[in-house]
Structure 1
Amino acid sequence: MERTIGVVTEEGRGVFSRISGLMERRGFQVRGVTAGATQRPGMARYTLVIGGDERQAGQAVRQIRKMVETVTVEDLSAGGCVERCMMLLKFAPSPEEREALFEVMKGYPHSVSEDRGSSLIFEMMGPGVLLDDCLENVRGLGLVESVKSGPLALGTN
């Protein structure tokens, strides 16, 4: 089971290092992380996906809340959230694989970022589980390289 935690902090040197160190010391398995700016100047937002249940997420929230720089922290999974990741997939398919690849990709939201005939790059955005499913379904179709971002998430409350 995974939990998504949203953290807003004051911007500053070493804040992310302290958050990741805290997760490490407390034994939380971080499965995804994204950091970025917010609509408020001087603030940063971190989205963490950790392995664990509601109790473990609650413990992580309490620990992060104790940090001096923390403005808000919440378990986004508890109240519902919209989560998106991005993935790029690079292929060097044979002519037969190319046809099959386009057929498989019809089932997923995507765009072709680059098509040079002998190589293709697809761009996808969606929930992490959807992107993982797509990756599993295209593995044998000339896949050369893939990269997936950490999550962006906002609570729906």
Structure 2
Amino acid sequence: MKHTLSVLVEDEAGVLTRIAGLFARRGFNIESLAVGPAEQLGISRITMVVPGDDQIIEQLTKQLYKLINVLKVQDITEVPCVERELMLMKVNASSANRSEVLELAQIFRARVVDVAEDSLTLEVVGDPGKMVAIVQVLNKFGLREIARTGKVALTRESGVNTEFLKLLESKVEGLGTRG
């Protein structure tokens, strides 16, 4: 299972290197990594997606707390969160298929950020599932390049789990079509 960890660290040189080294020494892969300033000056938030079971993640959390400069580690996998990722993608788009590429991009609310004679560069923002979906849909045209930021996430203060609401909504819609 993939876990999302939110780690608050002091904004000091070498913190990310020490964290990456900890994972490397234990043979763990970081599938997604995003780092940036947090709400407080001098503090950064690291959001990581790491594969592993609950026991492994618990052990990694304990090891992270042993590192200097690590202030807080939170496994937010099962916590209601807002998750987003940014992706830039360069797609083949000749005059013959450009309108179809644009139509599909619009469905995903992707923005065109560069236009060339035979390609379009799109900016896509959304949850990681959206990124996978648009790649699958546009792959048939030929993807020249993709750059992704990695997932960033914050827990929902409302506590509302939107995944649960989507599931509930689909069940209610299914009941309504039985009439």
TM-score by structure 2 length? 0.80
Equivalent residue, structure 2, for 1:29: 29
Aligned counterparts of 1:141 and 1:90: Cα–Cα separation in 2: 10
- In structure 2, the residue matched to 1:126 is 126
Deviations 1:11-61 (A, max 9, x none): 111110000011111222210101111121111111110012222222221
Structure 1 gap ranges (5+): none
The root-mean-square deviation of aligned C-alpha atoms, in Å, is 1.6
In the alignment, is the contact (CA less than 8 A) between 1:88 and 1:121 conserved in 2? yes
Q: Provide the rounded CA distance (Å) in 2 between the counterparts of 1:125 and 1:82.
A: 12
- Shift >4 Å, 4+ stretches: none
CA contact (8 A) 2:94 2:117 kept: no
CA distance in 1, matches of 2:78, 2:65: 17
Q: Kindly indicate whether the alpha-carbon contact (under 8 Å) linking 1:111 and 1:122 is maintained by their aligned counterparts in 2.
A: yes
Which residue pairs with 2:62 in the alignment? 62
Check whether the contact 1:36–1:46 (CA below 8 A) recurs between aligned residues: yes
Q: Is 1:53 matched with 2:67?
A: no
CA contact 2:85–2:127 (8 Å) conserved in 1 = yes
Quote the Cα distance in structure 1 between the aligned partners of 2:8 and 2:72. Answer: 5
1:88 corresponds to 2:85? no
Compare CA radii of gyration and give the structure with the larger one.
2
1:117, distance to aligned residue in structure 2 (A): 4.5
Provide TM-score, normalisation by structure 1: 0.90
Greater strand fraction, Structure 1 or Structure 2 = 1
Q: How many percent identity over aligned positions?
A: 30
Match of 1:140, SS state, is helix
Q: Secondary structure at the match of 1:71?
A: strand
Runs of 5+ unmatched residues, structure 2: 158-179
Counterpart contact for 2:9–2:43, Cα < 8 Å = yes
Amino acid at match of 2:5: I
Residue 97 of structure 2 aligns to a residue in which SS?
Answer: helix
Pick 1 or 2: higher relative contact order, CA cutoff 8 A, min separation 6: 1
Equivalent residue runs for 1:95-134 within 5 Å: 95-134=95-134
Paired with 2:27 and 2:2, the residues of 1 have a C-alpha distance of: 15
Matched position secondary structure for 2:78? helix
Report how many residues are paired: 157
